[in-house]
A = this chain, B = another copy of it.
Amino acid sequence: MYRSHSCGELRASHINTEVTLAGWVQKSRDKGFMIWVDLRDRYGITQLIFDEDRTSKNIIEKAKELGREFVIQVTGTVIERQSKNPNMETGDVEVLVTKLEVLNEALLPPFTIEDDTDGGEDIRMKYRYLDIRRNPVKENLMFRHKVSMEVRKYLSDEGFIDVETPYLIKSTPEGARDFLVPSRMNEGQFYALPQSPQTFKQLLMIGGVDKYFQIVKCFRDEDLRADRQPEFTQIDCEMAFVEQEDILNTFEGLTRHLLKEIKGVEVNSFPRIQFDDAMRLYGNDKPDIRFGMEFGELNVVAQHKEFNVFNKADLVVGIAVPGGASYTRKEIDKLVDWVKRPQVGALGMVYVKCNEDGSFKSSVDKFYDQEDLAKWAETTGAKSGDLICVLSGETNKVRAQLSALRMEMAERLGLRRADEFAPLWVVDFPLLELDEETGHYHAMHHPFTSPKPGQLELLDTDPGSVKANAYDLVLNGNEIGGGSIRIHDKETQAIMFKHLGFTDEEAKEQFGFLMDAFQYGAPPHGGIAFGLDRLVSILGGQETIRDFIAFPKNNSGRDVMIDAPATIDEVQLQELGIKLKNTP
C-alpha cells in the first residue's frame, strides 16, 4: 500500500502520528526556507510542509522541483498547523515531511485542475481524464454512483430482479435508427444494439419473472440534438399482473426514496394530470410545476372584437407573468423579439399590464376595453402588478410557443429552483401521433403500448383520439421516466402493427417471436424506463447530462479523447464480409 491514510483523513487527533500519503501536487508555495505543498487525492487535500530546520536538505531540494500534478508519496509526522484553515476538513493539521518519493512526473496540464477551470469544453473533453480530477466532475460521478446504488437497493428490496438482457439483438427499423453490428460468423447478417430492452423485458414477464429491473445501456443512431448521447443509460423496469395504478405507486415509491436518500427532500404529492390537461394548462407534456403561470385560454373573451389576428386563430392563450407590469417598453419589446426568434417562432405577442390601481394597459387597447381585459386577467389569474402575455395561432404551435415563454420567464424570475423538486405524472397519452410530413400515424410511445380498454374500435374511425395506458413521470419540467401497460395478446398486437403500417410479413419477420410468446400464456404486464443520465443531472441540480457521464461523446457522436469512431483495417472489413460504399 502506498499510503497509510488518504489526503482527506487527517484531523487534530492524528497529531504526532507518522503517516504516509500519496497523491497529486495541487500547488506548492516556496518561501525559500519553507515549502508548502497541497497534496490531493480523491478524498481531499492535505497540506505538506518542508522546513529547512526540520527537513533534510536533499528532500527540500526534491520538493523544490515538484510541479503541478506530479504524483508523489510522502512520509512524515502530523503536526498542528500554525494558522488553521476552517474551510478544509484537514485544515487543523499539516504533515512535516521526512521522506519524499516522486512516483510519476507530470507535464503541465492543458488547463487548471481547479473547481473553476480555465479549460474550455473541447480541451476538457480531449483530456477528460484530467477533467475528472476536478472536484465538480469527480463529485458528479460519485453522485451518479450513489443514485445507481439507491435505485438498485430500493428495487431489489421491492422484489425486482436484475436480469441482464442481450446487447447483440435484431434490428427493428420501427422507431429510431439502430446501430448495427456485422456478424462475421453469419456473413451478410447483422446484429443491432438495443434501443431499449423492451421486447426482452416483456418476454421476461411472459417467463414469469414477475418484477424485472436493469440499469442498462441503450443505443440510438440519431442525429444528435444538444445534450443527447448515442449511448445512454436507462433504469428499465417491468412488472406482471399489474394495472397502471400499481406501476405509478411503485415508482412514486422509488422517486420518493431517491429524493429522500439523495437530496434529503420529502415529497408527498405526486399529482396526476391528463395529457390533454397538461397541454391545455402548460402547452407541454412535461410541465414544470414548481411555479404557476398556468395558461388561460382566451378564445371566448378575445374573439368577439375586430382584432383579426385573434379572430382567425385556433387558439388565443395567455399567461400572467408575476410583477411584469413594471417592465419598461424596451423590456417588453425585447420579450416580443424573444418570442419571435426562430427557435420559438411566434409571429408577435400581445401584452396587458395589470396596473397597481386595477386598471389595464395593453398593446391592443384599440380593440379591447377595460372590461375585456379584466376578463383576460381573470382567465389567466393575473393580479395587479402582473404582465399578461398573449399568443395566438394554430393550437399546437401556439402552445409550444407560450410554453417556451413560460419557462423563459420562470428562469428569469428565479422560479426554477434547483433545490426544489416537484414531480408529477402525466397520464392518458394518445396512443398514436400523426406524422404531419407523411400523414401516417405512428406509436407515441412504442408499438407495444396498450390502448385504453374499450377504445380499440376507435382505431378504425378516429385513430388520433385513442388514448393509451401510457404515463410519463415528470420532474421539474423534464421527463425522467415513461412507460405503459403493454398489449399482451396476439390479436391486439396484430391490430396495432396493422395500424402502424406493418404488413403481416413485416410484423412476423421482426416481432414474430413476441407474437408467438403471447400465445403461450402471457400475463397482463406493464413497465417504465427512467433515463438515468437525465435523472441524475436533475437530482444534481444541473441541466447538462454530459457532466454526469464519465466519457461522453460530442454532438457528432465522437469520443474526442480516444478519437473514435476511426477507420479500420482492410482485413477487418474482409473478415466481416463488407466493404465501404465508396471503394471498388
Contact = CB atoms under 8 A, between A and B. Distances in A.
Interface of A: 1-3, 22-24, 40-43, 69-71, 73, 103-107, 109, 127-133, 138, 141-142, 144-145, 148-149, 152, 156, 161-171, 173, 177-193, 199-200, 203-204, 206-211, 217, 219, 221, 223-224, 230-231, 233, 241-243, 245-246, 488-489, 512-513, 517-524, 549-551, 553, 556-559, 561-569, 572, 574-582
Given A2-B243, A41-B208, A219 B161 contact: no
Contact of A133 (B42, B71, B208, B211): B208
14 contacts: A2-B242, A40-B208, A103-B523, A130-B207, A163-B550, A164-B233, A169-B562, A177-B572, A185-B223, A185-B556, A188-B567, A189-B567, A189-B568, A512-B563
A187 B145 CA distance: 35
Nearest to A511: B562
B186 A565 contact: yes
A513 B563 contact: yes
A241 to B, nearest CB: 4
A1 B243 contact: yes
Given A141-B161, A576-B180, A189 B566 contact: yes
A309 to B, nearest CB: 42
A570 to B, nearest CB: 12
Contacts of A69: 520-521
A532 to B, nearest CB: 9
A19 to B, nearest CB: 14
A133 B205 CA distance: 10
A506 to B, nearest CB: 11
A104 B521 contact: yes
A200 B551 CA distance: 9
B241 A191 contact: no
A508 B138 CA distance: 28
Contacts of A132: 204, 207-209
A525 to B, nearest CB: 10
Given A2-B241, A208-B138, A107 B520 contact: yes
Given A513-B561, A559-B169, A523 B578 contact: no
B1 A246 contact: yes
A207 B133 contact: yes
Give the top 6 A-B pairs by smallest Cβ distance, nearest first: A132-B207, A106-B521, A170-B564, A189-B565, A2-B241, A69-B521
A313 B193 CA distance: 53
Given A129-B204, A156-B149, A221-B184, A241 B165 contact: no
Contacts of A200: 550-551
A230 B166 CA distance: 10
Contacts of A166: 231, 551, 553, 559
A580 B188 contact: yes
Contacts of A106: 519-521
Contact of A170 (B105, B221, B233, B559): B559
A572 B180 contact: yes
Contacts of A128: 203, 207
Nearest to A578: B578
B580 A577 contact: yes
Contacts of A230: 168
Contact of A550 (B164, B184, B522, B549): B164
Contacts of A563: 170, 512-513
Given A107-B519, A185-B556, 18 more contacts: A42-B208, A71-B522, A129-B517, A129-B520, A132-B204, A132-B209, A141-B163, A144-B163, A149-B156, A164-B233, A167-B219, A179-B181, A184-B221, A185-B224, A190-B566, A191-B565, A217-B217, A578-B581
B551 A186 contact: no
Nearest to A106: B521
A489 B169 CA distance: 40
A13 to B, nearest CB: 21
Contacts of A104: 488-489, 518, 521-524
A183 B179 CA distance: 8
B168 A559 contact: yes
Contacts of A204: 129, 132, 550
Contacts of A199: 562
Nearest to A217: B167
A392 B359 CA distance: 108
Contacts of A210: 41-43
A413 to B, nearest CB: 36
B568 A183 contact: no
A179 B181 CA distance: 7
B179 A168 contact: yes
A326 to B, nearest CB: 48
A557 B183 contact: yes
